[in-house]
Amino acid sequence: MTRASDRAYAKIRAFLLGGGAHPGEQVTEERLAEIAGVSRTPVREAMRRLENELLLVRSPSKRIFVADWSRDDIDEMFTLRQMLEGHAAKRAATRLTAQEIDRLEAVNGSLREAIAGEPPDIVRFLEANRRFHDIITGAARSPRLRQVLAMLVEQPVLVRTARHYSVRDLRQSARDHDELISAFRAGDPDWAQAVMKSHLRRAFHTFADAAEAEGGAAKDAAE
């Protein structure tokens, strides 16, 4: 993998995850080359990596689109996350150090601060939420698990729809994190796994409803 391809991959991935293009929107090599500031050859290599991560999809006619998902697609993603992050929480419960649990407390405190404003700071919420889950995944001490989860967590449709969260949804997320921390302090793997699965199932309904709301708003705007 060339350095130019790595740079292109990083820039295009950040563009997609940052909502630079709508789910379902067509993108071209030319446009992505402009965004990445490189020639089209390394862009093609980067695009193949992003296709493997399901951030881009190729149509039968070979056109490239930003990935978009139905409710069933989102359900499957969250079902996989429940399995994998539930397993990560179970492993982490017997491996987290006291210092790592303290970090979880601090990060969840930052998350609470982010949602206390009017309006809530969604960007800061997402960053704190990512760090919280990253600490747990890291504590599972499984590089394979971390690699697979990275493909499921940072999906553009999930990042974009977070702005539709209600304050109640955001506060519930913080409460779920509190219970996870309690399970970790107790060193109880089964409790931690159960809370993580419940947390992610609740998140599925929030994300799916928000995605449908965004899709409906986009359709109304087009009309």
Task: Give the whole-angstrom CA distance, residue 129 versus residue 132.
Answer: 5
pLDDT of 158 reads 66
With contact defined as beta carbons under 8 Å apart, do 202 and 174 qualify?
no
Which of residues 208 and 19 earns the better pLDDT score? 208
- 72 vs 78, 79, 106, 195, 215, CA distance in Å? 10, 10, 35, 23, 15
The band of 215, judged by pLDDT with boundaries at 50, 70 and 90, is: low
| Structural domains of the chain in order of their starting residue, each with its CATH number | 3-66 (1.10.10.10), 71-222 (1.20.120.530)
Cα distances (Å, whole numbers) of residue 216 to 49, 73, 207, 210: 30, 17, 14, 10
- The closest of 157, 152, 199, 166 to 180, measured between CA atoms, is 199
pLDDT tens for 43-71 read 999 999 999 888 899 999 999 999 887 88
Give residue 129's pLDDT: 92
Query: Rounded to whole angstroms, how far apart are CA atoms 133 and 149?
Result: 10
Residue 57: strand, helix, or coil: strand
Q: How far is CA 137 from the centre of its chain?
A: 13
3-state DSSP assignment of residue 9: helix
* Strand intervals (E) in 31-87: 56-58, 64-66
Cα separation, 159 vs 66, in Å, equals: 13
pLDDT of residue 152: 77
pLDDT of residue 221 exceeding 80, the answer is no
**pTM greater than 0.85:** no
Q: What is the bridge-based pairing of β-strands 26-27 and 56-58?
A: unpaired
- How many CA within 13 A on the CB side of residue 46? 28
Measured CA to CA, the distance from residue 28 to residue 66 in angstroms comes to 10
Q: What is the residue type of 160?
A: R
Find out whether 42 and 32 touch, Cβ atoms under 8 Å.
no
| Tens-digit pLDDT profile for residues 165-212 | 889 999 999 999 999 999 999 999 999 999 999 999 998 998 888 777
The whole-angstrom distance between residue 208's C-alpha and the CA centroid of its chain comes to: 14
Q: Which position has the higher pLDDT, 181 or 24?
A: 181
Torsions phi, psi of 213, nearest 5?
-65, -40
Q: What is the pLDDT of residues 121-165, one digit of tens each?
A: 988 998 899 999 999 999 999 999 998 888 777 766 666 667 678
pLDDT at position 160: 63
CA distance 36 to 219: 30
| 31-41 pLDDT, tens digit each | 999 999 999 99
Q: Which two tokens stand for residue 220?
A: 């109304």
Length of the chain: 223
Q: What's the pLDDT score for residue 216?
A: 57
